[in-house]
């Protein structure tokens, strides 16, 4: 039944997404599914502080919207977070944190030193759920070891004081440094009980690390706000497992959202060639990588190294496979009233596919997909729902921008 369902999904995807084949830039065997070579990755809100509200209007299947450029000249922006006063925090991968206020950028000092190479650099940013009381900002980044030639995914916390981060400290660093500059994962999301979820990719060079519960690579972590493991995590009583791990067998999660009503965790992650996944993540579950994948080897398109099957008992099949390749990054759940026709849908950004895919689903399966902004703004790195219901999007370019999507007339 699963394979019959997948056949129908494949047919639907090919009909909906006209681009079909992979981009030409994806032909090299050392490239990741985001289209980057291993050596280079390649209703207006009155309190939004977003500046001019003029933008381009788009008609979609159910919703007309406006696309408004909020800020430009951002160098490979990676993530956006929202401050209570309407300003935005945006990370730039080379190592800068910007405050966006009325379309103007102001750089925040005190950011940790990052290893800005390949896919590494300054990555995700979130604020604490009680930010107005503690002013805590959380950043993930690629951290170099003392020798400077190996890196790990790290989580830092600091106090935002004007345009400065103070009291900055690493509150979590993955247990093992490695040489490849890929697959840092690094998305953050808060659960309803104020636990912090953090993804770490398999780090690229040794995929079977994702099956090792004694290794943080290829996992989703669940942490207290001080970086310590949540005491009710699924493996805290297992002496051979790391206490921080919530789920494992992930390749590289770069889209992560928690449903505020149900507390369900949704994640999008990169496959190799094909095999990009949407997963509903549950405690203690094994999501298969690399033992199980629907993707293929980059060069030969044969079965990926270390893969034993396309599905296997004891390992979770993806809730949905994006076809053709999407290279997902950034994920939003539409919860507000701004977009009635999209309420309850997921918006999944795509790097190589250069589009957002609106995903309509029920408890068991994806029912419908629609593509938005196809090749309009370039590679899409982040998609977030703002505090007043508008959707914010970052384009991952050397001269990238922050955009706001709001309902159109």
Region at 133 (left for phi over 0; alpha for psi -120 to 50; beta for the rest): alpha
Catalytic residue among 117, 128, 183, 306: 183
Give yes or no: 183 in active site: yes
State whether the Cα torsion 22-25-27-33 is positive or negative. Answer: negative
What is each CA distance from 353 to 42, 47, 205, 329, in whole angstroms?
14, 33, 24, 11
The b/e string for 140-175 (b: 16+ C-beta within 10 A; e otherwise) is bbbbbeeeeebbbbbbbbbebeeeebeebeebbbbe
Q: In sequence order, what are the residues at sequence separation of 6 or more whose Cβ sits closer than 8 angstroms to the Cβ of residue 391?
A: 332, 334, 339, 347, 383, 384, 385, 404, 405, 406
End-to-end distance of the chain based on CA atoms, in angstroms?
Answer: 43
Strand order in the sheet with 77-82: 77-82, 88-92, 96-101, 104-108
Quick one: how far is CA 393 from the chain centroid? Answer: 12
Nearest to 178, CA basis, from 197, 205, 159, 147: 205
DSSP bridge partners of 125: 139
Longest CA–CA span in the chain (Å) reads 59
- Tokens, residue 402: 């922050």
Residues belonging to the active site? 183
């Amino acid at each position: 039944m699963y394979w019959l369902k997948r056949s129908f999904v494949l047919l639907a995807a090919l009909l909906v997404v006209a681009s079909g084949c992979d981009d030409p830039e994806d032909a090299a065997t050392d490239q990741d599914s985001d289209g980057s070579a291993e050596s280079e990755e390649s209703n207006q809100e009155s309190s939004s502080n977003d500046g001019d509200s003029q933008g381009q209007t788009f008609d979609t299947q159910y919703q007309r919207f406006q696309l408004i450029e909020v800020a430009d000249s951002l160098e490979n922006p990676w993530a956006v977070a929202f401050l209570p006063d309407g300003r935005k925090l945006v990370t730039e991968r080379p190592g800068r944190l910007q405050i966006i206020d009325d379309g103007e950028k102001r750089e925040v000092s005190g950011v940790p030193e990052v290893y800005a190479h390949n896919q590494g650099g300054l990555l995700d940013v979130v604020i604490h759920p009680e930010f107005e009381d503690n002013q805590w900002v959380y950043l993930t980044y690629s951290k170099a070891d003392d020798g400077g030639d190996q890196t790990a995914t790290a989580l830092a916390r600091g106090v935002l004081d004007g345009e400065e981060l103070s009291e900055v400290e690493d509150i979590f660093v993955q247990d093992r440094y490695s040489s490849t500059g890929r697959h840092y994962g690094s998305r953050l999301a808060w659960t309803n009980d104020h636990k912090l979820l953090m993804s770490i990719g398999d780090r690229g060079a040794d995929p079977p690390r994702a099956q090792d519960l004694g290794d943080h690579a290829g996992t989703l972590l669940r942490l207290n706000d001080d970086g310590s493991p949540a005491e009710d995590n699924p493996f805290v009583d297992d002496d051979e497992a790391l206490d921080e791990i919530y789920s494992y067998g992930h390749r590289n999660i770069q889209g992560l959202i928690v449903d505020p009503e149900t507390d369900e965790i949704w994640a999008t992650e990169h496959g190799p060639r094909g095999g990009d996944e949407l997963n509903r993540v549950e405690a203690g579950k094994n999501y298969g990588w690399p033992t199980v994948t629907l993707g293929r080897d980059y060069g030969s398109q044969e079965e990926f190294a270390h893969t034993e099957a396309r599905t296997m008992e004891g390992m979770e099949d993806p809730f949905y496979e994006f076809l053709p390749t999407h290279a997902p990054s950034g994920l939003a759940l539409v919860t507000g009233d701004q977009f009635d026709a999209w309420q309850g849908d997921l918006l999944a950004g795509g790097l190589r596919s250069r589009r957002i895919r609106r995903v309509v689903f029920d408890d068991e399966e994806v029912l419908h997909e629609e593509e938005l902004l196809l090749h309009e703004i370039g590679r899409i790195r982040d998609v977030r729902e703002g505090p007043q219901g508008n959707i914010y999007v970052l384009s991952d370019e050397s001269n990238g921008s922050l955009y706001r999507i709001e309902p159109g007339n």
